[in-house]
Amino acid sequence: MPTTKEKSVKKSAAKSKTAANASSVTLHGLAPYVEKKNEEYMNEQQREHFKQILKAWRHELMEEVDRTVTHMKDEAANFPDPADRATQEEEFSLELRTRDRERKLIKKIDKTLLRVEEDDYGFCDQCGVDIGIRRLEARPTANLCVDCKTLDEIKEKQITGG
């Protein structure tokens, strides 16, 4: 029978294992990129890492499209009750709206993959500085650095009044 000290050691090991798993959050099934000391920004390894993230993300979105088509075919029914019919139509409408947004996102992912291939990925379109590994992992399709994006949003608020 384990002693109190052994139980404590096991609990501590389990907690650290859980913490390690929580800190290594995956991006579309891929672990975050670990930068090496004095590593050149957007080197071949980093570009390959982001290419994998973008392709995995695109693949997930395409699978979702397939699931939606199948779901809509299988679930389409002509309900005699108007309320049931309206509910189903609203559900389909929301699903189609979501897929339309994802279709636009897939186009953006494709453009970003092209930028990766052309070695033009990871740099701000407005000022040319590094966007940063962490920002790109948060939003792999980002094409503006944090400062330029913030200014862009401020200008948009001033124009739209929102």
Say what the pLDDT of residue 50 is: 96
The CATH architecture of the domain made up of 39-121 is Up-down Bundle (1.20)
CA dihedral 77, 100, 140, 46 (to 10 degrees): 80
Say what the pLDDT of residue 82 is: 87
Question: pTM of the entire structure?
Answer: 0.75
Which tops the pLDDT comparison, 78 or 90? 90
Residues of the chain with CATH 1.20.120.910: 39-121
Burial class (CB in 10 A: 0-12, 13-18, 19+), 100: exposed
pLDDT at residue 162 is higher than 80: no
What residues does 27 pair with on adjacent strands? 30
Identify whether the C-beta of residue 51 lies closer than 8 Å to the C-beta of residue 118.
no
Q: What is the mean pLDDT of residues 34-57?
A: 94
pLDDT at residue 125 is higher than 90: yes
Considering just the CA atoms, what is the radius of gyration of the chain in Å? 23
Which tops the pLDDT comparison, 17 or 118? 118
Which tops the pLDDT comparison, 15 or 123? 123
Q: What is the mean pLDDT of residues 58-72?
A: 90
